[in-house]
Amino acid sequence: MKSFGELFQTADWRTEKHVPAIDCPDRVSADEMFAVKASLGKEVAHPNTTSHHIRWISIYFHPEGEKFPYQVGHFEFCAHGESVEGADTSTVYTHHEVTMSMKTARPGTLYATALCNIHGLWRFEKDIAIG
């Protein structure tokens, strides 16, 4: 049996549409808010249809030297074109992109995870320095 962590797939977000990209500074000032944007399909578009879509993105931060990461955000996408008239008949769609703010006093690693309803769990990580 695979461990939970082994269920997450990884790749380069520039060539794989399911991998969440993280846009934020590489270096931030201690205890000052900074914006973190996580999105899918930045270079290769991901579908957003009733039958193939991104359900959620979660963002975690693991401060250097600490035992566990913190979940800093979980974002669900609930409109993919479905309506009472059937699949892909709505004019309402969400887009799999979020921007949030956070602060930290320690360097560490940001993790963005995402779930595609067809292709499973994906993750990407980015190191954040202080200074």
Rounded to whole angstroms, how far apart are CA atoms 22 and 13? 9
5 SS3 class: helix
- Residue 130 near residue 29, CB atoms below 8 Å: yes
Using CA atoms of 54, 56, 61, 66 in order, give the dihedral in degrees to the nearest 10.
-110
The answer to whether residues 126 and 59 touch, using CB atoms and an 8 Å cutoff, is no
Catalytic residues: 16-18, 46, 52, 116, 119
- What are residue 4's phi and psi, to 5 degrees? -55, -40
Residue 112: CB atoms within 10 Å: 25
